[in-house]
Amino acid sequence: MSENEHADDHAGHFIVPPKYYIINAVVIAILMFLTIAASEVTFPGGVNGMGYLVALLIAILKAACIVSIFMGVKWNTPLVKVFAIGVIGWLTILFTFPMIDLASAKWELGTPYSDIGHEGENALFMDDDAVLLVDEEPKAD
Amino acid sequence: MSDLTMGPKEPIVSDHFIDREQQNEASHIGMWLFLAQEAMFFGGLLCAYFYYRFKYPEVFVEGSAQLNVYMGATNTIVLLVSSVTMAMCVYSTQVGKWKQQMIYLSSTIALGILFLVIKWFEYAEKWHYGLVPHLNWNPHGAHSLDDPVKGELFFSLYFIMSGMHAFHMIIGFGIAAVFWVLCWKKKFGPNMYLPVEYFGFYWHFVDIVWVFLFPLLYLIK
């Protein structure tokens, strides 16, 4: 039986049969238990290594199940799909720049601003004037 | 058998749309734009989370160990079941089954309340152990954080992220209460089901946020 025979057309809008919802919920529940099981496995790379990527990947799969079946994007028009998938694009922009900063900047929680940018650790990212300004700040002692 | 008294007798198409299909598509796009800005809101919080997690991974492992995985997993199941009941509520509206519509909407609200009750007990536990930054933070409390100063960072993110998620659920209750009354009065039916469907979108979105929060907060090892 084809998919369209299951789903009734309603003004260009498919009515999704309940069995799709039940199957989808079972799949998401299995993925949830898989997430918990994966967290017990020791993956290479430590806390931010492979285990972290597996957890994120399963979460993305679960989100895809919810969006495509529960929210019905699977049966929507191509234009609506563009807007739905476009959310990923917006989030990619949002995540890219802070992560670039994370990869390049070298600071620690509680470090005074005046201690950042001295020669050595982070000098590459500061021009000469900036280093000079930092050096000219009055010392507490 | 469909209840013919549910919703308007004929589909309502506004003047500025050619037909119902175009109207439905336009309103779907509007709803997805709303959800996109909601995703950006939670995306900002997740960004802060990722940033500090990569900066201080050991702090996040210790902080996560203080959370109750069983409560988190139970809440995941509760939200998942509420997503199913919400989807079934939309289906009942589309096919015109009033009694089922009311049962599923009421079940969704009840499961949402159950989620918040579990959350309440979880927060109370954190309060008891002095793990609530600024309000009740006790670095030498009963908990086993090696670095209580940096541990505050994890719990700040935990309370902001899970708190904003809970806040969205409370907003959802407000909307659900209005919809419950409107459904009771049979305002929605086969010719008027998009408002119920969009409330469903919002509810599913809240579920998606939790799908990410659960492994990122509770399962760091």
Interface of A with B in 26-85 (CB under 8 A): 28-29, 32, 35-36, 39-40, 46-48, 51-52, 55-56, 58-59, 62-63, 66-67, 70-72, 76-77, 79-80, 83-84
Residue B119, in any domain of the structure: yes
Angle, helices B194-213/B148-184, rounded to nearest 10 degrees: 160
Residue of B nearest to A12 (CA): B21
Task: Give which of A101, A98, A64 is closest to A81, Cα–Cα.
Answer: A64
All residues of chain A having their beta carbon less than 8 Å from the beta carbon of residue B80 are 25, 28-29, 32
Which of B25, B88, B150 lies closest to A109 in CB terms? B150
Bridge partner residues of A9 (DSSP): A14
The distance of Cα A31 from the centroid of its chain, to the nearest Å, equals: 17
Owning domain of residue B57: 20-218
Here the CATH number for the domain that contains residue B140 is: 1.20.120.80
| Max CA distance (Å), chain B | 67
Residues 6+ apart with CB under 8 A from B112: B82, B169, B172, B173, B176
Contact A80 B216 (CB under 8 A): no
Confidence (pLDDT) at A110: 57
Nearest CA to CA, how far is A70 from chain B (Å)?
A: 6
Residue B52, in any domain of the structure: yes
Residue B2, in any domain of the structure: no
Residue B7, in any domain of the structure: no
Confidence (pLDDT) at A134: 45
Helix, strand or coil for residue A8?
strand
Nearest CA to CA, how far is B156 from chain A (Å)?
A: 14
> Residue A7 to residues A3, A74, B24, B66, B115: CA-CA distances in angstroms?
7, 11, 17, 46, 32
User: What's the number of CA atoms in the CB half-sphere (13 Å) around residue A99?
Assistant: 11
Residues A65 and A28: beta-carbon distance below 8 Å: yes
Please tell me the total count of domains within chain B: 1
Contact B40 A95 (CB under 8 A): no
A51 pLDDT tier (thresholds 50, 70, 90): confident
Residue B9, in any domain of the structure: no
Bridge partner residues of B132 (DSSP): B136
If phi > 0 it is left, if psi is from -120 to 50 it is alpha, else beta; for residue B180 that is: alpha
d(CA B90, CA B106): 13
Confidence (pLDDT) at A131: 43
**pTM reported for the whole predicted model:** 0.85
Contact B215 A80 (CB under 8 A): no
A114 pLDDT tier (thresholds 50, 70, 90): low
The neighbour count for residue B148, using CB atoms within 10 Å, is 18
Confidence (pLDDT) at B34: 97
Residues A7 and A16: beta-carbon distance below 8 Å: yes
All residues of chain B having their beta carbon less than 8 Å from the beta carbon of residue A79 are 25, 29
Confidence (pLDDT) at A47: 76
Task: Give which of B158, B13, B183 is closest to B108, Cα–Cα.
Answer: B183
pLDDT value at A1 more than 50: no
* H helices present in chain A, as ranges: 3-6, 18-40, 50-65, 78-104, 128-135
Can you tell me which residue has the tokens 């021009």?
A: A127
Helix, strand or coil for residue A15?
strand
Neighbour-count burial of A119, counting CB atoms closer than 10 A to its CB (0-12 exposed, 13-18 middle, 19+ buried): exposed
pLDDT along chain B (221 residues), means of 10: 76 86 92 96 94 87 90 95 96 94 97 97 93 85 70 91 97 96 93 94 97 93 78
Residues B100 and B92: beta-carbon distance below 8 Å: yes
d(CA B164, CA B43): 12
